[in-house]
Amino acid sequence: MREKLKKIASTAICCMLFAAMLLSSWKFLMRKGSYVKNEDFYSYEGDYDVLFLGTSHVVMGVSPMELWKDYGIVSYNLANHGQWIPIDYWVLKNALDYTKPKLVVLDIRAIDIENNKVSPEHAAQTHESFDRMPLSRNKIAAIYDLFPKGERMEYLFDFSIYHTRWKEIDQTFFEEALPSEEKGADLDNSNNFDQTKIYELKPPKIYDKSEMNTGETVGKEYLRKIIELCREEGIEILLTSLPYAPNHAYQKWLNSAQAIADEYGVPYLDMIVEDTFVNYHTDFFDEDHLNSSGAKKTTKELGRYLKENFDLPDHRDGEAAEKWNQDYEDYKAHKVEALKLQKSLDTYLMLLADDDFDAVIEIYNPRIWKDSHYVHLFENLGVDGEQVTKDTDLIVIKEAGKSVDMIENFHDSEGVTETSAGQIGLFIEEMDEEDNVKSYGVYLDDEKRYTAGLLENAGIRILVLDKDTGETADMVTFSYTVKNQKNYKLKLMAINGEPVEEE
C-alpha cells in the first residue's frame, strides 16, 4: 500500500512539474501584444463608461488617456489592427462580462466586408484580440462562429502555435509584458517609436450622402448585431468614421452606415468632412491612419461631441481620480520617452504638438523656413508662418500653440526677454581670445536650463518643458542643411552632435 501511495505521489509531482514547465514555456514563447494591449482592461476593478471598437483606425486614432485629461471620461480602446466588425461583436460581448459601459463607440471602417468574418492577412493581430481574453463560454462561441474547423484550436489554446517559436527567440522574448500606458490605444505605432511617421495626405473629395452602397455584407450583419446587443443591455451606441481620405467607392460604403443608423435611430458621427479639424499636412501616419498629432485632435473633437450628446460623468473629482491621475502621469512619461527616441526633426515637431508640453526653440539656421514641410509642422504648433522672418531666432510655444511668442535677434544681445513661458535669459559664459562668444547659458525665470556652445553647428535647439511643473522634459539639437533642388528640402545631418546615417 505504501509503495502504491509513493507511486501515486511521484506521478502527481511529475504531472505538476510538467504542467509548471509547460506554463513557463508558454509564457516565454507567447506573443505578448494581447497582454500589453488589454491587461489593464481585465485588471481594472471599476467600470468603464465608454468602450471603443473598430480597426487600426481607432487603435491609432482615439486616446482614452487624452479623453481623461480633457473631459474626465473613463474609457478603454478595445479596437485592434485588422479587427473587423464580426470580431468587434464578440470582443464587446466578452467585455460585458467584465464591465457595464454607458456608451459603445463603433467605427464602421470595415462595413464593406462581404464574406470573411476575419481578415486572413491579419492573423497575428487577430491573436491580439483573443489571446488575453479568458477562456469562457463567450470566447468558445466566438471562435466557433468566426473560424472554420481546423483553425479554431490555435485561438482557443494559443500554445498550440506558440510552442514552435524557439527559432524566433531574440531579446524581446526576455522582456516583461508590461501593460500599455495608453489604455488599449497604440498612437504612432508606439511599440516601434522609431517608425513614427508623417504622411502628407491630399484631403478627400466629399460626395453627397445620398450616394451609398446598399448591398448587404457580413460587416452590416454584425453591425446590426452590435446595435441590438447594446439595446438588449441598455447601452447607448455611437457609430463613427474617423478622419482619413476614402475614395468615392469607399465613401459610398461609409454613407450606407447612415441608413443603418437611421433604421435603428442611433447617431452616426462622420468625421470625414471638408475643412475638418485635422491638418492633412501633419496629422497622418500613412494614407489610412492618424498619427498622434491627428489622434489628439480627433480625440478632443470626439470628446467634445460625447460630452454634449451623452450623459457621461466627469470623474476627475471622483473616486477614480487618484488611479487615473497616476496612470496619466505614466502616460506623460511614455510621451516624453517617445520624444527622446525620435530620429528625425519632423517627427519630433509632430509629437511636440501636445497640450502637456511647452517649448523654447532656438533657430540658428533660418533656411528651415524654406522647406514648406517644416513650415506646416511649425504652423501645427501655432506658429504663424507669415510672421516669421530670417531674424526670428527664438520661439516660445505654450500648450501646443495656445500662446506663441516669436522673438527676433535673441542671440545678438545678453539679457532677459519676457515671454508667455516666463523670463528667458541669455548670459555669456565663455569668450575666446578674440572676444567672440564661445558659449552662453539659457535661463528660465532665473533657473539655468542649459549651456549652448556656438561651435556646435546646431540648426535648431528645442527645450521641452512639462506644462504643469515647468521642469525640463527633454532638450535636443538638430543639425541640418537645406538645399534647393527644384524645391527646398531639409536634410538632417546630426542629432545632439551625433551624425545621422543616410536612409
> pLDDT by residue (tens digit) across 214-243?
999 999 999 999 999 999 999 999 999 999
Please report the beta strands in 159-202, taking only residues with DSSP state E, as ranges in sequence order: none
Question: How much is the pTM?
Answer: 0.89
Write the pLDDT tens digit of every residue in 367-383: 999 999 999 999 999 99
The residue among 312 and 431 whose pLDDT is bigger is: 312
Q: What is the pLDDT of residues 156-207, one digit of tens each?
A: 876 545 444 444 444 544 455 577 899 999 998 755 545 678 999 999 999 9
Comparing 467 with 159, the larger pLDDT belongs to 467
Q: Residue 150: its pLDDT value, please?
A: 82
The predicted-structure confidence for 70-85, as pLDDT tens digits, reads as follows 999 999 999 999 999 9
Please state the rounded mean pLDDT for residues 329-358: 94
State the average pLDDT over residues 96-118: 94
Residue 460's φ and ψ, nearest 5 degrees, are -155, 140
For residue 20, the model assigns a pLDDT of 42
Question: What cell was used for 251?
Answer: 465613401
Res 27: pLDDT = 45
The pLDDT value given to residue 5:
57
| pLDDT score for 295 | 97
How many whole angstroms separate alpha carbon 338 and alpha carbon 331?
A: 11
**Torsion (CA) 94, 100, 103, 105 in degrees, nearest 10:** -20
pLDDT of residue 173: 43
Measured between alpha carbons, how far is 54 from 57 in angstroms, rounded to an integer? 7
pLDDT at 378: 97
User: Cα–Cα distance between 297 and 299 in angstroms, integer?
Assistant: 5
pLDDT over threshold 70, residue 26: no
Q: Residue 98 is which amino acid?
A: Y
378 versus 32: which is more confidently predicted?
378
In DSSP notation, 297-328 reads: HHHHHHHHHHHHHS----GGGSTTHHHHHHHH
Residue 430: φ, ψ to 5° = -150, 135
- CB of 310 closer than 8 Å to CB of 303: no
At 1 the pLDDT is 60
Residue 140: which pLDDT band, with cuts at 50, 70 and 90?
very high
